Amino acid sequence: MQLKHKIVALSILPLLLAMALICALVIVQNQRLGEDQAWLIENAILSSKRAELKNYVAMALSVITPLQAGASDDAQTRRQALEALAKLGFGRDGYFFVYDIRGRNLMHPRQTELVGRDLWNLTDPHGLPAVRALIESATHGDGFQRYAWRKPSTGQVTDKLAYVVALEPWGWMLGTGIYLEDVEQATRQVRDEVAGGIRSTMIAIATIALVAVLLVFAGGLTLSVREHRLADSKLQSLNRRIVHLQEEERSRVSRELHDGISQLLVSIKFQFELAGHQLEAGHSDGLAILGQATERLGGAIGEIRRISHDLRPSLLDTLGLPAAIGQLATEFEQRCNLSVVYRNSLHDARLLDEVAVALFRIVQEALTNIERHARASSVLIDLEPCVDGVQLRVRDDGIGFDPWTIERTQEGIGLRNIRERVEHLGGRFSLSSSIGHTEICVILPVPPIRRVAA
């Protein structure tokens, strides 16, 4: 996965996770709220129905109470009471029923096929022994019982709330009930409204999440395009600098070869030709001229060695970095007539080739800057091991400069080269400068340093 894709993923995934958690929380809270609301509505309706049922049963009791209070308590009186209760009713499906305490049905105006049957073990679709539960509620409970029973008007089995009382003198259970389809409808409506609200909320959250994802994606795409353009611009600038440095180095070598070695070799050629003519003519001056030409040839060889040393010092490959920096410091001191102090705490340690070359080029670049700009009288070069690897410090007592300005202008190309070398190797670079004090400090991470066996 590319870096830009990782950035977009790291931006979008937490957003999607947060949206998912919010959706889950909204669903749970809305469902809980819906259930609470349905429970409240159901309780309110049931409370109203309980009061209504008590009133109906009180009305039925008022009808048969005079018969119970009469002097005669025979089968005729009880039959009159059952006939009177059978005539009572309310609404389309409201009726009264009577059972004895053993579960035998004595009166049921809407289901006459049940009269006289023992229904003690009759169970509803939920497995509840309905008649037995009614008798238990009448004799030992609050009189209310919920169960499932066939609704006369529709023939469908539905939930029913009944209120029953015990008629102790006759051993009867009198009761009535109300079917709860309206309660189920009300609670179902509440749950449907909650589900609809959840769907609407989910759609709104999904829309917000989609817009947020699109915004993040658009922002990431814009940032990616901008970073690509910036990277291309930096790459083009770097390529131009590399080409410029290559041309500058080639020009320098070309000037040194043309102005130094080439002129010197032409002069030596003329001296050899002159010596040859003098010797052919028998003049003794030819030997002296030949000696001068040979001496100048040695100087040409030394100049070639100097150019070769500038390109890649041989001591760096043979004796290592400390010796190469020491030679560079000695030549700089002789050439510029400055006081150079070189402190080497690495001794004869061997470093990785890329680290050694980088440190050597950094010292070379720093000394070149000191020679051109510092107007210094003394220079300190300090090379030592440290906790993080190898530390190099180059300090002078010159006129100083403003690091912030120099590093951001074309004049600071040498410092930029140093900084880029250090960053390429994962090191640290620091620069401080003021009047009378300028110091470059470089720390490069290296593996454990090996020492040359004695």
Q: What is the C-alpha separation between 188 and 182, in angstroms, rounded?
A: 10
Integer Cα distance of 264 and 103 in angstroms: 137
Phi-psi bin for 86: left (phi > 0), alpha (psi -120 to 50), beta?
Answer: alpha
Amino acid at 164: V
Q: What's residue 451's pLDDT?
A: 41
CA distance 46 to 42: 6
Rg of the chain over Cα atoms, rounded to whole angstroms, equals 55
Amino acid in position 187: T
Unique residue bearing structure tokens 């140093």: 418
Q: Which element (helix H / strand E) includes 450?
A: strand 450-451
C-beta neighbour count of 95 within 10 angstroms = 19
SS3 label, residue 346: coil
Can you give the pLDDT of all 454 residues of the chain as single tens digits?
Answer: 566 666 667 777 787 788 788 888 888 888 888 788 778 888 888 888 899 999 999 999 998 888 877 656 678 888 888 999 999 888 888 999 999 999 999 999 999 899 999 999 999 999 999 999 999 999 988 899 999 999 988 888 999 999 999 988 888 999 999 998 888 787 778 778 878 887 888 888 888 878 877 887 787 778 777 877 887 888 887 777 777 767 777 777 777 777 777 777 888 888 888 888 888 887 777 788 888 878 888 877 877 777 776 666 667 777 788 888 888 899 889 888 889 999 998 877 778 888 888 898 899 889 988 988 888 999 999 999 988 889 999 999 999 888 877 766 655 667 888 888 888 888 999 999 989 899 999 999 986 544 443 3
Number of Cβ within 10 Å of residue 435's Cβ equals 10
Angle, helices 413-424 vs 181-255, to 10°: value is: 120
8 Å CB contact between 119 and 98:
no
CA atoms within 13 A on the CB side of 443: 7
Beta strands in 151-242 (DSSP E): 157-167, 172-179
Which CA distances in Å does 256 have to 185, 252, 442? 103, 6, 31
b/e per residue 39-53 (b: at least 16 CB within 10 A): eeebeebbeebbebb
Distances (CA, A) of 49 to 46, 89, 141, 162, 165: 5, 16, 18, 10, 16
Q: Which domains can be identified in the chain, with CATH numbers?
A: 3-185 (3.30.450.20), 315-451 (3.30.565.10)
pTM, two decimals, is: 0.44
Q: What's residue 160's pLDDT?
A: 92
Provide the H-helix boundaries in 152-180: none
Largest CA distance in the chain: 184
